[in-house]
Amino acid sequence: MGYLEGFGVTFKKWAEGVTTKQYLGGRGGATDEKAPKPERLHGRHVLNRYEDGMEKCIGCELCAGVCPARCIYVRGADNPPDDPRSPGERYGYVYEINYLRCIHCDLCVEACPTEAITETKLFEFSFTNRADAIYTRDELLVDDDGRPKQMPWEDWRPGEDADTSGWMRATSPAGRAEYEGVVGWSGELGYGVREPELGQTAPRREPDGDLDDDHGEGHGDGHGGGHH
């Protein structure tokens, strides 16, 4: 490509206008613009609760086992009989994620049998010391309203917790035909049963096993939600 052709490309792009957004890190200021985030963006994790407030994590350590970066450390413990934390026999007594190692691959979300761990769209958070980069169970577990706990060094924006790990809520598009459009995940505290992604519909399955196409979106089945 000669000089004239090169300048031609430059002037052509200049004529198309500026596509760069103004971003000064002003935490929502008037000159602070951010591009829309896709449904499947992988960001900071949260530990979810069921709609009745019980914790979804059962301390099985599958997320830690599948993590290629080895950034997750989990230790389960037996549920106290007089004050159980989860519906099962065990719960996540220790849960830590080291974000100096995490590559946000979402394999932990895929491996979790109870949908306890999901990823929000928050990806802008910085630390002034290494200890802050290791999130503990108390920091990851959603609050009593089901909302993610916000640390002082995190730049949360509206909607970043609305569609956590959207890909997980696909209604078996590549699986068995009888599960097409059927809800295969459980409800979450503060959100209920999240909508399927990409405009998929999820008719409710009746007790006899038939699909009820007249009832719009599906409903969770309590503590038994899983992936199909």
Q: Residue 88's CB: how many other CB atoms inside 10 A?
A: 19
* Mean predicted lDDT score pLDDT of the chain: 79
The Cα–Cα gap between 76 and 67 comes to 17
DSSP codes of every residue in 99-116: TTT-----HHHHH-TT--
Q: What does the pLDDT read at residue 40?
A: 77
CATH fold of 45-166 = Alpha-Beta Plaits (3.30.70)
Indicate the Cα dihedral angle 68, 66, 187, 145, nearest 10°. Answer: -50
Asked whether the predicted pLDDT for residue 69 surpasses 90, the reply is yes
pTM above 0.75, yes or no: no
What are 86-142's pLDDT values in tens digits?
998 999 999 999 999 999 998 999 899 999 999 999 888 888 889 999 999 999 999
Indicate the Cα dihedral angle 148, 154, 155, 159, nearest 10°. Answer: -10
The mean pLDDT value for 30-56 works out to 83
Q: Where are the domains of the chain?
A: 45-166
